[in-house]
Structure 1
Amino acid sequence: APTKDILSFAAHYLSLRATHLYLFLDFPDPEAQGHLENHPNIHVTNTAPNYKQARGRRPQTVERRQIENIKIAIEFALRDDIAWLGHFDNDEFLHAPSHANVGMRLARLDDDVMCARPTC
């Protein structure tokens, strides 16, 4: 994705009061990464070199890479004591009226709820 799209994506989810963003870039983007790494609650993973180093291989299909990404994001979320994860591609934007605090809405769900799916 172009740098401006990556930065817009991050800004959008921060405006929804996401407490952490775990971003996975298919291709290194030093400009975007330079901006994002200055934020204390954004973690950027460049998947091209990192998969090969950390996992021994880079999955060939986007679906397999997304599965690996969510596994890594779950590890990060457990480390950071994050209760909920959202999984969005860079062209997918959750809409919340008046930038409502999505986290507060999720926190109101019963403890036994394991999945929340937004509706249109």
Structure 2
Amino acid sequence: MANDPYTLLIGVSANGTAYGHLYADDGKSFEYNTRDDYVVMDVHLSANGIKGSVKHSSESDFAQQYVERIIVYGMSRETGYIEGGMGLDIIPLDNDSGFIIRNPKVKINENWFINLR
């Protein structure tokens, strides 16, 4: 489990936005405290897309993990792509209540932007 990829769950507000944080450390030591060895990422969703902004980074192995999927509730979307042009696999949820982005190939320790069209 220590090196498993991440799933982000995003609930969209009535005004069409969402904001949250991802925190990660090695899950076993106190190096988050003694060596500042942890990751904090802000995640912001708007009508234009989903942005991940690293606020505190780490070079440790745990920080090299990918986001495996992003599940968005409360917004429908048919297409999207990573900044730079790579297409995404987007699957609608039942009753058009949201969507899943499968394997966006974004890391928890890098800034990224997913454009939603």
The TM-score by the shorter chain falls in which range? Answer: under 0.3
- Which structure carries more strand by proportion? 2
Q: TM-score, normalised by structure 1?
A: 0.25
